Structure 1
Amino acid sequence: MTPHMSGKPDDDAPYRSGELALPVARMRQAGHHAVDLVVERLQNVADEPPHAAAGPAELETLLHEPLPEQGSDLISLLERLAQDVLPLGIRFDHPRCFAFVPTTGNYPAALADLLSAAFLSVPGAWLVGSGPTRIELTTIAWLRELLGLPDGWGGLFVSGGSLANLTALAAARDHHLAGDLAGARLYCSTQAHPSIARAAHLLGLDRAQLTALEPDRAQRLDPRALTARIEADRVAGLRPFAVVATLGTTSTGAIDPLAELTAICRRHRMWLHIDGAHGAALALTSRGSHLREALGRADSLTIDPHKWLFQPYEAGCVLVRAPELLKNTFGMARHHLDAGYLHPAQAQGDEINLDDYGPQQSRGLRALKLWLSLKTFGAAAFRRAVDHGLRLADHAAARINDHPELVLVTGPGVGILTFRYRPPGTATTDPQALDRLQHTISRTVCATGQAMILTTRVQGRIVLRMCTINPATTPTDIDTALDLVLQAGRTQLPM
């Protein structure tokens, strides 16, 4: 073995010669320290502001450094990351972080990521990871049961909603268009997630082939407008092939009329994909049980466990009523060039290779997070947590309706609501001034370090938006955030 350039004995060096390894005692010491850092963060997340930021110049000074030719002490590096790097950004699990669609993660899920990384778990080919593959298949079955989907549905875990939407729409394209994109048309609302437009682009559709219709007053895809457009396109010789319905739009939490859209797609022999990245979890609860029939009649569904199922990133999932259609699109045998070395990994008998069902061959064991969380806490705890988020949104809406300076714009749907601050009296009625005021209030509230509320746009006007799905959030946290909004609005008067 080549001696260390430093001349230190192996046991004193961060890495031994010829190996990327540490002494056992040092691995245990660093591992214990890492767990202590995780537990401390989970215990104390509410003690810090919900957002911490640093400017590009500051971060460049802190983190832009030469390639390290020699190693450093691992514990010191972990401490540096935990103190100076990883906290910079939105703390999505903070009980007063109401921005975007926050996620909370959980401790068993964090341990699942550690274990799956250490065991190099790859649920791709059965030969490569039979145990990890079975874990993913079991977790998919649990998701199917949680959402009330019929037997036969299947799918796989992916990075998030964007890849889930792309995967489902790729199967829809191949099933309905058979490789010919001429005249193809895909339909959604303008309230659909941007990943739908990106998926259309990646699938070879130009912008004119994605028809984004204006929503109705409830911010939902309008079935009448959709039907009229499909029928007009058919008369024009075009080829409508799929509709994307959104279950919980990101701006307002609106739910497109799933039953009516299903009927339209059945009548026109089109694919219905439901983007339920956030809102599909509503079906876990008694309040959302009415959604189950509609979900089961769709062709495909997106759900992100790293949203309302409280998992760390990345954990998205695509589910399909006829999973063999995924294999028709992504099966390795379809795309082999000269890859004889992959032949030993082909599935035999009743084995399942999950890399035949999606775009990734090298796949992390994302499912283990949800599997270990469900095994640790039980499905009932998840149902209670989703219900809690719904009750928080109801509480926020009631508080807003009770206050003369606040106006509820869109009521609570899937743990999301929007509202505006309205100055008392006749301080201003100028729409643009009121829009600017909402932006100012958002920035002012965030600057306090006590809560994070951002803005969105509804029917052309700027509104404040809250997403209330954190199980650690209390009604008092909601009240505190709304009081901060009122204080911020009042400090801007007179206008």
Structure 2
Amino acid sequence: MKQLKAIKNQSPPNTDNRRLELREDQMRRAGYKVIDTIIDHQLSLDQKFPVAIASRNEMDILLEEPMPEDGLSIEKVLDFVDRDILANCDYLAHPKSYSFVPGPGNFVSVLADTLAKGFNIFSGGWATSPAAAEIEIITLNWLLKLFKFPSKKGGGLFTSGGSMANLTAIATARRLRCGDDFSKAVIYMSDQAHSSNIKAIRVLGFKKEQVRIIPTDLEFKMSINKLKNAIARDRLEGHSPFCIIASAGTTNTGAIDPLNEIAAICKAESLWFHIDGAYGAAAILSKKGARQLKGIEKADSLTIDPHKWLYQPYEIGCLLVRDHRWLSKTFMAKAEYLRDIEGNKSEINFYDHGIQLTRCFRALKLYMSIKTFGLKSFRKAISYGVDLAEQLEAHLRMSPNWEVISPASLAVINFRYNPIHTKYSEKELDALNQKISNAIIESRKALLVTTILHEKIVLRMCLINPRTTLKDITDTISECEGYVN
């Protein structure tokens, strides 16, 4: 009887379903199964390996198949996805996922994304989704206030991530500062600036010789003296400086460029001041971060990535600007088929503020998570990450085996194995630390990759996950020491 009941409850294959629909009972069973799978995953995450290792050949063998003409039951598809797809991805929300800028997400935002996708909300224009547009405006206004941007004139939009936010910002700067002719325009950034800025500049049609990479100082911050010299030299040679990109929390070290000094240069030289704060800007919610980020309010445009240190699931980036009209001047393109939904000036059409016409309702997850947890919880979570990196630095400095290469800054720290009582050459140290990283990743116990600072291969941790503990980290450090011999 049990077997017959189980067979009866299985959905039949979807072989002829032109409406692309499931029955109500199928939808409920599948929906509950998906939610249960997500909750089970989150509750057991610390018991899983954070690292997935598989070759292209292994994935082809496991997953590759012809496009099916006939469908399977949704239960079989979900089982396949859970067993063979989800189990073969890195878990960046894992407490021992230390590399890159590992966004841990939160369950409220998962529910928000589910609602936004379930209702299939188009968030491009006011007329089609006035409540969605209003929520985006409200959430952007919260961020404008947080970063002390002009409350009435300021604006922005949510994007897919920091790459698209930076692209949107530089496109706006080019339009407003250069017009149609940008053949002599020059843009400045440090040697620690994020690669997405270079990609954006290339996409926007600038040549390599129009980009000035400014060296950084010993703290990996943009050298102000070298920046001033580069601008002066370009002016003498007949070039047209138009934009400086500063970093508020570099990916490598968490360094913050001298924002106030760069703002003063931009004002004196009539240059656009863009700050890439995709990773670090959210640290303004901590007392230490707020002190370090002074001057961020002077930017013409600011990139923030809520899917990093504001704990949102992928993907959601954000661009803020001092004047919302700058975006519409850059991106508005009148289309005949949109003339009936243009609305008035207060009813913002976000498709006029950026590249995308069709936009998903990204704002809902950030809005719902702030409404649910309150800003105080975000402040505590961010402060915890800043403090955790400093605790790790203290732990490493007490050890005879580890050398701190760049101190804790905005929850990022770089270090390497370099024992006091053993003499290694720089080449040997590079090989040894690469070996440690490779070994810990191959064990799948932690995601800990290397970067290069001052021509040294070093281990880097970014500790923004509020579920990571000091014990998680010290256990990983002990594991690393075990791979030395």
Show the counterpart of 1:6. Answer: none
- 1:456 pairs with one of 448, 451, 458: 451
AA at the equivalent of 1:451 = A
Alignment map for 1:406-485 (pairs within 5 Å)? 406-428=402-424, 430-485=425-480
State yes or no: 1:145 paired with 2:145.
yes
AA at the equivalent of 1:448 = S
Structure 2 counterpart SS, 1:91: coil
Show the counterpart of 2:344. Answer: 348
CA deviations on 1:22-45 (whole Å, 9 max, x unpaired) are 111110110000000000011011
**Length-normalised TM-score, structure 2:** 0.95
AA at the equivalent of 1:341 = Y
Show the counterpart of 1:3. Answer: none
Structure 1 counterpart SS, 2:319: strand
Structure 2 counterpart SS, 1:143: helix
Show the counterpart of 1:177. Answer: 178
CA distance in 2, matches of 1:435, 1:237: 44
Q: Alpha-carbon deviation of 1:48?
A: 0.9
Structure 2 counterpart SS, 1:311: coil
CA distance in 1, matches of 2:346, 2:240: 37
**Length-normalised TM-score, structure 1:** 0.93
Q: In the alignment, is the contact (CA less than 8 A) between 2:412 and 2:461 conserved in 1?
A: yes
CA distance in 1, matches of 2:363, 2:167: 19
Show the counterpart of 1:304. Answer: 305
Q: In the alignment, is the contact (CA less than 8 A) between 1:15 and 1:22 conserved in 2?
A: no
Show the counterpart of 1:27. Answer: 27
Q: Alpha-carbon deviation of 1:14?
A: 3.2
Structure 2 counterpart SS, 1:52: coil
Could you tell me which runs of 5 or more consecutive residues in structure 1 were left unpaired when the two chains were aligned.
1-10, 334-338
CA deviations on 1:361-394 (whole Å, 9 max, x unpaired) are 0001111111111111111111110011011101
Farther off after superposition, 345-354 or 414-423:
345-354
Q: In the alignment, is the contact (CA less than 8 A) between 1:281 and 1:308 conserved in 2?
A: yes
Structure 2 counterpart SS, 1:332: coil
State yes or no: 1:201 paired with 2:202.
yes
Show the counterpart of 2:127. Answer: 127
Show the counterpart of 1:380. Answer: 376
AA at the equivalent of 1:374 = I
Q: In the alignment, is the contact (CA less than 8 A) between 1:15 and 1:21 conserved in 2?
A: no
CA distance in 1, matches of 2:388, 2:345: 50
CA deviations on 1:299-333 (whole Å, 9 max, x unpaired) are 00000000001111111001111121111000123
State yes or no: 1:223 paired with 2:219.
no
Q: In the alignment, is the contact (CA less than 8 A) between 1:389 and 1:415 conserved in 2?
A: yes
CA distance in 2, matches of 1:148, 1:483: 43
Root mean square deviation of aligned Cα: 1.5
Q: In the alignment, is the contact (CA less than 8 A) between 1:246 and 1:256 conserved in 2?
A: yes
Could you tell me which runs of 5 or more consecutive residues in structure 2 were left unpaired when the two chains were aligned.
1-10
Structure 2 counterpart SS, 1:196: helix
Q: Percent identity?
A: 38
Q: Alpha-carbon deviation of 1:13?
A: 5.0
Q: In the alignment, is the contact (CA less than 8 A) between 1:97 and 1:452 conserved in 2?
A: yes
Q: Alpha-carbon deviation of 1:98?
A: 0.5
Show the counterpart of 1:5. Answer: none
Q: Alpha-carbon deviation of 1:146?
A: 3.2
- 2:481 pairs with one of 474, 478, 486: 486
Q: Alpha-carbon deviation of 1:437?
A: 1.1
